[in-house]
Amino acid sequence: MKNFNQKIVVITGAGSGMGRSLAKQLAESGATVLLSDKNEAGLNETRRMIEEAGKGACKTYLVDVGKREEIDAFAKQVLDEFKYIDVLINNAGMAIGEATLNEIPLEDFELLINVNMWGVIHHTRAFLDILISRPEAAIVNTSSVFGLMGIPSQIPYCVSKYAVRGFTESLRLELVKTNVAVTCVHPGGIDTDIAKNGIHYKNREKAVEHFKTLVITSADKAAGIIIKAIRKKSKRVMVGPDAKLIRFVSQAAPGLLESYILKKKDQLEQSMN
């Protein structure tokens, strides 16, 4: 998709981080951005920023992507009002703090899967027919580097992001003869509120502090990389140098990556005590 001018783009989780940056940059390119989030204040702030910049058009919707009925109602409202969309960016997601399988309350595991995995699947199903009917369309799903490697004490998040990757790669092949390009996004450490907004069981403050030591790419830079990937119809995009390195090492030297992950986990445990 070379041009976003006059395109209608749905972005979930647009009240913060990469979703907000994507919304601002796509509006700047002349798109009409339809933004959803469960965080009303964040969503209003994104809309304010876009209106102030004065380019593109923007509408906001309060939607919990962990609830199928809210997604279906959102899709119906959008299609009643706009008739079609050209791009769906499934960006909304949540994190979970360090906890082993036995420590995580099952309801939190289920919540995370509802938001990070089912949210992506339900949105895609709700908009798929209309996207296929467009001359040119795109579906962009946000996995993670945690969709490339297993991480101890991060099972629910890894499960959700591997699922998004599997869903997206399979969908891409299903849609290969259509006009819908499908992109799987694998961000590395991006400077957003994902850790702050997450569920935590241990030391929230230290977990957020630790996350800050891992981020190397700004949300604006990440959004620019994702938009470039949509333009190029990329199958997958590694966002940030850390993501590129992790992908390379996971294939070339998986044992080395495993040792590094275990060392990092020990360091994190020590810093939490």
Ligand X SMILES: NC(=O)c1ccc[n+]([C@@H]2O[C@H](COP(=O)([O-])OP(=O)(O)OC[C@H]3O[C@@H](n4cnc5c(N)ncnc54)[C@H](O)[C@@H]3O)[C@@H](O)[C@H]2O)c1
> Catalytic residues, which ones?
157
Among 193, 204, 206, 218, binds ligand X (CB under 6 A): 193
What DSSP element (H or E) covers 250? Answer: helix 241-252
- Asked whether position 194 contacts ligand X by CB under 6 A, the answer is yes
Return the DSSP state at 114. I
- Asked whether position 242 contacts ligand X by CB under 6 A, the answer is no
Query: 213, 36 in Cβ contact below 8 A?
Result: no
Q: How far is Cα of residue 5 from the mean position of the Cα atoms in its chain? A: 23
- # residues near ligand X by CB under 6 A: 28
Among 4, 7, 11, 15, binds ligand X (CB under 6 A): 15
- Asked whether position 91 contacts ligand X by CB under 6 A, the answer is yes
Sign of CA dihedral 242, 214, 254, 150: negative
Give the burial class of 262: count Cβ atoms within 10 A of its Cβ; 0-12 exposed, 13-18 middle, 19 or more buried.
exposed
Alpha helices by DSSP H, listed for 3-60, are 17-28, 40-53
Among 124, 144, 154, 234, binds ligand X (CB under 6 A): 144
Nearer to ligand X, 15 or 135 (CB): 15
CA-only gyration radius of the chain, Å = 18
- Asked whether position 187 contacts ligand X by CB under 6 A, the answer is yes
Q: Which stretch binds ligand X (CB under 6 A): 12-20, 78-86, 165-173, 230-238?
A: 12-20
- Asked whether position 142 contacts ligand X by CB under 6 A, the answer is yes
Among 71, 89, 92, 117, binds ligand X (CB under 6 A): 92
Q: Which stretch binds ligand X (CB under 6 A): 85-93, 96-104, 223-231, 257-265?
A: 85-93
**Residue whose entry in the numeric block shows the structure tokens 């979930």:** 12
Query: 66, 92 in Cβ contact below 8 A?
Result: no
Pull the structure tokens for residue 67.
Answer: 């609830």
Q: Interface with ligand X by CB under 6 A: which residues?
A: 13, 15-19, 37-39, 42, 63-66, 91-94, 115, 142, 144, 187, 189-190, 192-194, 197
